[in-house]
Chains A and B, each alone.
Chain A
Amino acid sequence: AQSVTQPDIHITVSEGASLELRCNYSYGATPYLFWYVQSPGQGLQLLLKYFSGDTLVQGIKGFEAEFKRSQSSFNLRKPSVHWSDAAEYFCAVTPTGGGNKLTFGTGTQLKVEL
């Protein structure tokens, strides 16, 4: 069955520290890959997406993600976290060659310590 796994439910980092949020997927073929962020009281905002080509993609708010086919992973990174990055982060996929119904991971709640 197709699935998306985010192994870390909660992560706490200090402001200014680097961040990596993990995402693994299980699909028959490489899907389209997305990261969304949900700030408190807000909706889901698209951070970045990977369709093909360069495996390192840049997104908004200084985030980037790297697609690694061999590991079926699409980890989200940020070199220096700001307090305003505290939010819940969701990895999501859609199948290539099909519709754009998103399958989400369970999310990672990021807490930033000042």
Chain B
Amino acid sequence: EPEVTQTPSHQVTQMGQEVILRCVPISNHLYFYWYRQILGQKVEFLVSFYNNEISEKSEIFDDQFSVERPDGSNFTLKIRSTKLEDSAMYFCASSQERKGNSPLHFGNGTRLTVT
């Protein structure tokens, strides 16, 4: 079964540094998402992306965050200047459609640790 793949599985960075989290969505999916889960908290929506632009974003997704689909397969999340509170598990997801009954398929996540 096709999978969403994320790299790296674990990223450690110093506060103030830029990080790029990478994702390869399922090939025939058109909608892409980032979610995050701070340790001990619920999984939260960050952003959705379709047709090379952001379709929706949460209040968490401030100017420090950006997303990009640099080529036909990768989908990236960039954090420009990391803060301690950005430490979390970041999940990429994709879906075929944007309708509520089109399930999201998640990757295994990237654990980001900001020191």
Contact = CB atoms under 8 A, between A and B. Distances in A.
Interface of A is mostly: loop
Give chain A's interface residue range (CB within 8 Å of chain B): 20 to 34
A23 B56 CA distance: 26
A49 B56 contact: no
Interface in B55-78: 55-56
Contacts of A46: 103-105
Given A96-B100, A100-B98, A100-B100, A43 B107 contact: yes
A4 B99 CA distance: 19
Given A31-B100, A99-B48, A43 B106 contact: yes
B100 A104 contact: no
A104 B43 contact: yes
Nearest to B4: A43
A100 B95 contact: yes
Contact of A44 (B99, B101, B106): B106
A45 B109 CA distance: 12
A97 B106 contact: no
Contacts of A100: 31, 95, 97-104
A102 interface: yes
Given A34-B103, A43-B108, A100-B99, 4 more contacts: A43-B4, A46-B105, A100-B103, A102-B104
Which 9 pairs, one residue from A and one from B, show the smallest C-beta to C-beta distance? A94-B100, A43-B108, A44-B106, A104-B43, A32-B100, A43-B106, A51-B101, A106-B42, A100-B100
Interface of A: 31-32, 34, 36, 41-46, 49, 51, 90, 92, 94-107
